[in-house]
Structure 1
Amino acid sequence: MDLRDIQNLIKFVAKSGASEVKLEMEDIKITIKTGSEKTETTIVQQAPLNIPQMPVAQGEPQVATVPTAQEPVVNETSKYKEITSPIIGTFYRKPSPDKPVFVEVGDTISADTVVCMVEAMKLFNEIESEVSGKIIKVLVEDGTPVEFGQPLFLVDPS
């Protein structure tokens, strides 16, 4: 999670009217408390354990090396575009339980087509596609929590 994501989260929480939001991921914990006049944010990021350090000759600046994730593997999905969640909430494929899903695998969509809903703080937000193409895969199960920027659908733009 980068600084821009955290700033967007703070703005979202401030607009939502929530008094406190806690977000915990693998390596970061964020607590955002809002009051009538101010917003307080606490960010706790744990340092990676077992950081290997290279021996350094005297006179050189010391640099700690941090293990990096494996290089991403380029595969056949790289030609597809992702529709991502613009907010944190619960993902729904249908507008209501008795209605059909917004889109199915194989459906052709255009920009501004409603593809799903994300419920956040009792508000149901229709999520529109920003790309045109054919739905290749639904990446999230109905009724599961999603995070900001999490991929929801794969779209073949060709």
Structure 2
Amino acid sequence: MLKIQEIREMIKLIDESTIHEFELEQNGTSIKMKKVNGAVQVAENPAPVQVSAPTAVPQTTSQVAPTQEKSVAALEKVAVEPVNEKVENLQYVTSPMVGTFYQASSPDTPPYVQAGSKVTKDSVVCIVEAMKLFNEIEAEVEGEIVEVLVKDGQLVEYGQQLFSVRPI
């Protein structure tokens, strides 16, 4: 099963690309994304299970299992978020390198920033550790932190979005 953050990243990539339709099948689950009127729509279906002998199990297409309802509701919510973010014209603080993300200078100090914090272009927002060097990352944008997109101690890639910022 894919994590919500991974699905969000895929939605953003599809939304920003010229791809109109995308389908992924992984670990018994398939996800299909389509652009309709400029918005990405997401549908999640369990992958078909191959059975060696046919089985007679009556099932109507109008019935949905409770776990599928929750998954679909969660995915519909995720599909709406990137559209709202585009309307708000958010900017992102991205990682300039591969390394480990830290929100604070040490485990017993408060985070540099959190949702609602105001930042300037030269505000330190986090640290990315690479090869035993702790690199302070600056916002490079003025505004208000909307969301921290990664967890403390998480490995990050070059160019990965770390924070969403609403410009002032």
Q: Give the TM-score, by structure 2 length.
A: 0.51
Distance, in Å, in 2 between the alignment partners of 1:68 and 1:88 is: 30
Deviations 1:48-93 (A, max 9, x none): xxxxxxxxxxxxxxxxxx9964546361112110100000000000
Which of 89, 92, 98 is the matching residue for 2:99? 89
Correspondence for 2:142: 132
Distance, in Å, in 2 between the alignment partners of 1:147 and 1:68 is: 26
Which structure 1 residue ranges, 4+ long, deviate > 4 Å from structure 2? none
Q: Does 1:120 align with 2:145?
A: no
* Structure 2: unaligned runs, 5 residues or longer: 1-18, 23-33, 41-81
Which of 145, 155, 159 is the matching residue for 1:145? 155
- Aligned length, in residue pairs: 93
Residue 85 of structure 2: SS of its match in structure 1? helix
Q: CA deviation at 1:118?
A: 0.3
For residues 34-73 of structure 1, the aligned pairs below 5 Å read 69=22, 70-71=34-35, 73=40
* Structure 1: unaligned runs, 5 residues or longer: 1-65
Residue 77 of structure 1: SS of its match in structure 2? helix
Residue 75 of structure 1: SS of its match in structure 2? helix
Correspondence for 1:76: 84
1:143 partner letter: G
Residue 83 of structure 1: SS of its match in structure 2? strand
Structure with more helix by fraction: 2
Distance, in Å, in 2 between the alignment partners of 1:112 and 1:88 is: 21
Q: CA deviation at 1:132?
A: 0.3
C-alpha RMSD over aligned residues: 1.9
Q: Give the TM-score, by structure 1 length.
A: 0.55
Q: Does 1:99 align with 2:103?
A: no
Distance, in Å, in 2 between the alignment partners of 1:155 and 1:109 is: 9
Distance, in Å, in 2 between the alignment partners of 1:122 and 1:150 is: 20
Same amino acid, percent of matched pairs:
49
